[in-house]
Structure 1
Amino acid sequence: MATLSLLGFGQNGWGALLLTATLLTLLVTAAALFIGAVLGTVVATSKLSGNLVLIALGNVYTTVFRGVPELLIIYLIYFGGSSAVTAVGQWLGYEGFLGLPSFVAGALAVGIISGAYQAEVFRGAYLAIPRGELEAASAIGMHFTLKLRRIIIPQVLRFAIPGLGNVWQLSLKDSALISVTGLAELMRTSQVAAGSTRQYFFFFIVGGVLYLALTSLSDRIFNTAERRANRSMPHSAMGNA
């Protein structure tokens, strides 16, 4: 019971800090997923463009950021970004070191990694659209913007949901690596609590349970979104997908 009291919300409890850290983990993961969605859309479009230069650039991006260790990318973004910010500050007349905020560095690093995976998810989702739908839209004179809004985007999002769910889970777990920048997310807070109380096993187990709760809840949300998105799809189209 004395150990469990460490999870309380009183003066000596870590409950409030762990809850705040869990919310911060969700925020940084959501920010990373958004950044990755933007990058992934651009890269997927490049790889589908038919332009050899754009295809090569897209392949380089996905190969590098899916092949290089995530921790190395976080280090490069955090320390490299801090050096760049410091250089800009000195150019503007500011003396001293300017560090890149941990949240920004973490979200950007995980977002870049996420973008490499999302690019392949979006590319695969686009290729899953029945060609007949696109040909029919062109045959009736539907211009590209209308085709994009009514056919391509809804279908891509529909087919991409399972893959995006996997990317979200990956980003959620990668967020633990951001603790090396000093951001007080769930992993960092668990480490601090463990070191302060000497209850290493207990707090690391608590951290693992909280991560498991987040991934389980996320899995339910994406499964629900997938079922709802497929309600409007003809059964034949679902079977072809």
Structure 2
Amino acid sequence: MDVIFEYRQILIEGTMVTISLAILSLVLSVIFGLIGAFAKLSPSRGIRRLGNLYTTFIRSVPELVLMMLIFYGGQALINDIGRISGLWGYVDVNQFIAGTLTLGFIFGAYMAETFRGAILAIPHGQIEAAKSVGMNPRQVFTLVTWPQMVRFALPSFSNNWLVLVKATALVSVIGLHDLVWNAFSAGRSNHKLFTFMFAVLVIYLIITAISDLALCWVDRKYSAGTRRA
């Protein structure tokens, strides 16, 4: 354990990067998820097809492949466009931005299915009643749809978040100095890779435990009065 204490600053820095990556990716995934859910529920057949294409594509391709495709392929595409158009020079894509966009885009597809199912679980009569009393679409969403959607979506949302946290380890393959990268580098230099990987395991367990407590609090908040009824 002495070697872990010696490298504690590196592990703390990596943990902060991992947590920041997970939270920002979650925000993006919620945005993509809401867009995807409303696209799949759209009365327009073309928009529904785009929503279905998005979720089907993401669920069919491994996360690691998409990570490397967006980081390396996206960087090459941006530089090719700049070279051909002459609008900019060489662009070096930041690993943190690439990882955040990739995870947000990937888990946005899973969130879209989560939100779509939650919206469909809301009794349609409630939405019609809200419209009948003069609520505009924004009021219907914020006062009627959103509170109930959160309650219905929370179990699946919680699972998606916990999987997303674990998926942050994938960004180490593109060179981001996250928790896994820092621990692996420290463990390899000291020939104690197992010790550092076990420390990573413990840190991820702590993050998961804190997440469970926070999600339980959200569940109690949005389910207030429901269970008693």
For the Cα contact (< 8 Å) 1:28–1:106, is it kept in 2?
yes
TM score, norm. by length of structure 2:
0.93
For the Cα contact (< 8 Å) 1:62–1:119, is it kept in 2?
yes
Partner of 1:27 in structure 2?
20
For the Cα contact (< 8 Å) 1:125–1:156, is it kept in 2?
yes
Partner of 2:87 in structure 1?
92
Query: How big is each residue's C-alpha offset from its partner over 1:56-114, in whole Å with a ceiling of 9 and x where there is no partner?
Result: 111111111112100000001100221133235432353xx432100000011111111
What is the aligned counterpart of 1:40 among 33, 42, 48? Answer: 33
Alignment of 1:56-205 (within 5 A): 56-90=49-83, 91-94=86-89, 97-205=90-198
Q: CA deviation at 1:143?
A: 2.6
Structure 2: gaps of 5 or more residues: none
Structure 1: gaps of 5 or more residues: 237-241
Q: Distance in 2 between matches of 1:216 and 1:36?
A: 21
For the Cα contact (< 8 Å) 1:47–1:59, is it kept in 2?
yes
SS state at 1:228 partner: helix
SS state at 2:18 partner: helix
Partner of 1:6 in structure 2?
3
SS state at 1:231 partner: coil
For the Cα contact (< 8 Å) 1:125–1:159, is it kept in 2?
yes
Q: CA deviation at 1:149?
A: 2.0
For the Cα contact (< 8 Å) 2:29–2:111, is it kept in 1?
yes
Q: Distance in 2 between matches of 1:168 and 1:65?
A: 16
Q: 1:207 to 1:149 in 2, by over 3 A?
A: same
Task: Please give the root-mean-square deviation of Cα atoms over the aligned residues, in Å.
Answer: 1.6
Percent of residue pairs identical: 34
Q: Distance in 1 between matches of 2:165 and 2:148?
A: 26
Q: Distance in 1 between matches of 2:142 and 2:161?
A: 25
Counting matched residue pairs gives 227
Report 1 or 2 for greater relative contact order, CA contacts < 8 Å, sequence distance ≥ 6. 2
Q: Which amino acid aligns with 1:6?
A: V
Q: CA deviation at 1:233?
A: 3.6
Q: CA deviation at 1:196?
A: 0.8
For the Cα contact (< 8 Å) 1:85–1:100, is it kept in 2?
no
Q: Distance in 2 between matches of 1:93 and 1:137?
A: 51
For the Cα contact (< 8 Å) 2:4–2:196, is it kept in 1?
no
